[in-house]
Structure 1
Amino acid sequence: MGDAVRLVEAVAFDALAGVPDGSGGKEQDWVEQFATRAHFRYLRGSEAVIAARLQGKQPVVVTVRANSSTRAITPEWQMRDTRRGTAYNIRTAVPSDDRLFIELTCESGVAV
């Protein structure tokens, strides 16, 4: 990757948290943790990717700059494309080979 100019997408990361429901209880809801810039690489071609796309799912590898916030991302979180409003399940979060970026394997079109 190595090229910050390519981080052109706007994304936000959400975690489930207990939110007051107005009647003394709490319900689980997504709460934004932080927003950052990202690069999207849509997966195409393999048999598994084609099968996922036929089911209405879109696998994507999302690259974000590594910092204390992005290192905290887990598969229990969700990512949102803040421009398009699309929510993505996070499947994996691994550092790039140079450890300057975090590469997230995500999937849209699935129940979160």
Structure 2
Amino acid sequence: MVAGRLRRRATFQEAVLIRDPDGMLIQGWEDRFTRWCHIHYLRGSETVMQARLVSKSPVILTVRASTETRAVTSEWRAVIAGVIFDLKEDPRPGEDGAVFEMLAEA
């Protein structure tokens, strides 16, 4: 992955439990870090076409490998230009080992 293809800023968020003013636990999201990423929109397969019928866009997010990106799990999400991408799998190393790729859905 050439560094020039990492053109978008992704803020990775982790789910956290917080207490509202009434003392009830609610789920919220907390920013953990922001990284440059590449978005590859998937197209063509039957699964992708089904996802589009319910207004979802499956993508592959690519980020540089680091200690922070190694901590990401499928329970996190990424926010890119105001669009929320739910991560569907834990990051997996790219072919060169310098990046992580993860399936996500907008």
TM-score by length of 1: 0.87
Which ranges in structure 1 are unaligned for 5 or more consecutive residues?
A: none
Name the residue aligned to 1:98. Answer: 96
Name the residue aligned to 2:85. Answer: 88
Name the residue aligned to 1:38. Answer: 37
Partner SS state of residue 99, structure 1: coil
Name the residue aligned to 2:12. Answer: 13
Tell me by how many angstroms 1:46 deviates: 0.9
Tell me by how many angstroms 1:104 deviates: 1.0
Name the residue aligned to 1:56. Answer: 55
Provide the rounded CA distance (Å) in 2 between the counterparts of 1:57 and 1:13.
19
Provide the rounded CA distance (Å) in 2 between the counterparts of 1:10 and 1:61.
15
Question: Greater shift after overlay, 97-106 or 22-31?
Answer: 22-31
* Percent identity for Structure 1 against Structure 2: 37
Name the residue aligned to 1:67. Answer: 66
Which ranges in structure 2 are unaligned for 5 or more consecutive residues?
A: none
Alpha carbon RMSD of aligned pairs, Å?
1.2
Partner SS state of residue 67, structure 2: coil
